[in-house]
Amino acid sequence: MNELIASLPLDDLKVLELGQLIAGPTCGQVLADFGAQVVKIEPPGKGDAMRQWGQTDESGEPLWWNVIARNKQSLTLDLRKPEGQDLLRRLAAKADVLIENFRPGTMERWGLDYQSLSADNPGLIMVRVTGFGQDGPYASRAGFAAVCEAMGGLRYISGYPDRPPVRVGISLGDTLAGVQGAMGALLALHQREKTGRGQVVDSAIFEAVMAMMESLIPDYARAGKIRERAGSFLPKIAPSNAYPARDGRDVIIGANQDTVFRRLCEAMGQPTLADHPDYADHRARGENQQAIDELIAAWTAHHDAQHIVDLLADAGVPAGLVYTAKDMLEDEHIKERGSIVEVPDRHGKPLPMQNVFPRLSQTPGKVRQVGPALGEHTETVLGDWLELDHNSIDALRKDSVI
C-alpha cells in the first residue's frame, strides 16, 4: 500500500451545520469524517434533540450522539434572534458549505435564504435536506423518514405478503438523504473549481429512497408488474434466502448463479440437483423457488450455523451469519480491517463505533473525537472565524444569543 498522507482530503473546508436529528447531521458527519471543519449550530440551552435520543451509558449520557456528532464542533446560536441571524450571515460569508434541514421556508423567514447568503459569498454551497424537497405541492409538509420511505417505495416491498409493511430497524431514509447530500456537496465543490460559484443541493428523503429502488418504476411502466412484499427472499431469485441451522441461528446463502448453485449442491452432497430440470438454470430455479428453498433448509437444519458458513466458504458459495452488534465486535475480519474503532469519550473511556467509510488508500478519514459538549467550541469558532474578543462574546452570552 502507498504511504499514507498525513492530511485529510477535506481538511481545507469550512462547513456550517444547521441541521438537527438525523438527515442533515448525517451529511455533516460524512464531511467531518474526512477532515472538514464542521461547526454545528445548536440552540442555546437545549441543543440538538439528538443529544437525548437512543441508549445511554452507565452515567446517563446518550451514546448515539457520539457517533452522529463525531469530529464536529458545537457552537450555540439562537437563530430566531436578529443578532443570531446576523452572526450566522457573517459565519456563512467564511464557509464553503452550509447544511440545513429545516422545513422549507424557515431559512427564508430568517433572512438566511441562499440568495441573501450567496450575495456575500458567491462560492457558498447550501445543502438543503428535507422530506419532500424545496418545491412541489408537498414541500411544506413535515417529512420524517418513515413517511418518505413509504412514498419512495421502500415500505411497500418490506415485510411479508400476508402482513402490513414493516420498517427497517434504522432511519434509513434519513441516512440516505444525508449521504446523498454530502455527495451533492462534493459535486458542487468540484463544479465551483471550474466556475467559482456555489449552488443549492436539494436532497429530499423520498427521492433518496426512490433512487435506490432498482427497476421498480420501469417494471411497472413497461411490464405492468408491481413488486410485492416477499419476506426474506427476492421473487424469482433462487436460492437466496435465510436458512435455519441446527443450533437455532440463521444462515444467509446466496447461490442463484448457475455455477455457484452447482458448487452449493456439491457441498450439500447432492450434486445431481444441479442438473435436475427444475433447478438447472436461473429461470427454472426462479419458477421452483419454494421447492429449492425447502431442500436447502432441510440440509441446513442438520448442521450448526458456523459449520455451514465454513463449509460453503471453502466451496466458494456466498454465505454468512446474521450478525448482532456483539457478533461484529467479536468477528476476526472486522477486527483485522479496523471496521470498528475505539475512540475516547469525553471522560477518557474507550467507546467502540463504526469506522469511517469509504476507505481511501492514501488519505483515509478518521474518527478524531466523539460528539462535542453543547457549546464546547462557541468561543473558539467566534474568535477564529469572526475575530470576536472575549468582551463581545460575553455580551452575546448575556443577551442569550449564544
**Residue 4: its pLDDT value, please?**
65
Dihedral sign (CA 70, 75, 78, 79): negative
What is the bridge-based pairing of β-strands 14-17 and 97-100?
parallel
Sequence-distant (6+) residues with CB within 8 A of 76 are: 41, 42, 43, 44, 45, 47, 374, 375, 378, 402
C-alpha cell at 218: 420501469
CB contact at 8 A, 284 and 271: no
402 residues of the chain, pLDDT tens digit each: 455 667 899 999 999 999 899 999 999 999 999 999 999 999 999 999 999 999 998 888 899 999 999 999 999 999 999 999 999 999 999 999 999 999 999 999 999 999 999 999 999 999 999 999 999 999 999 888 999 999 999 999 999 999 999 988 899 999 999 999 999 999 999 999 999 999 999 999 999 999 999 999 999 999 999 999 999 888 889 999 999 999 999 999 999 999 999 999 999 999 999 999 999 999 999 999 999 999 999 999 999 999 999 999 999 999 999 999 999 999 999 999 999 999 999 999 999 999 999 999 999 999 999 999 999 999 999 999 999 999 999 999 999 999
**Residue 234: its pLDDT value, please?**
87
**Residue 115: its pLDDT value, please?**
97
Hey, what long-range contacts does 381-389 have (CB within 8 A, 24 or more apart)? 381/39, 381/73, 381/75, 381/91, 382/75, 382/87, 385/14, 385/39, 385/90, 385/91, 385/94, 386/87, 386/90, 386/91, 386/94
> In b/e form, how buried is each residue of 240-261, taking b as 16+ CB within 10 angstroms?
bbbbebeeebebbbbbbeeebb
CB contact at 8 A, 149 and 181: no
- Which amino acid, 114? Y
- Which phi and psi angles does 186 have, rounded to 5°? -70, -40
Neighbours of 179 (CB within 10 A): 17
C-alpha cell at 161: 405478503
What is the bridge-based pairing of β-strands 250-254 and 240-244?
antiparallel
**Residue 1: its pLDDT value, please?**
41
CB contact at 8 A, 362 and 5: yes
CB contact at 8 A, 364 and 4: yes
Hey, what long-range contacts does 1-4 have (CB within 8 A, 24 or more apart)? 1/361, 2/361, 2/362, 3/362, 4/362, 4/363, 4/364
The catalytic residues are: 174
**Residue 235: its pLDDT value, please?**
87
Sequence-distant (6+) residues with CB within 8 A of 275 are: none
**Residue 60: its pLDDT value, please?**
86
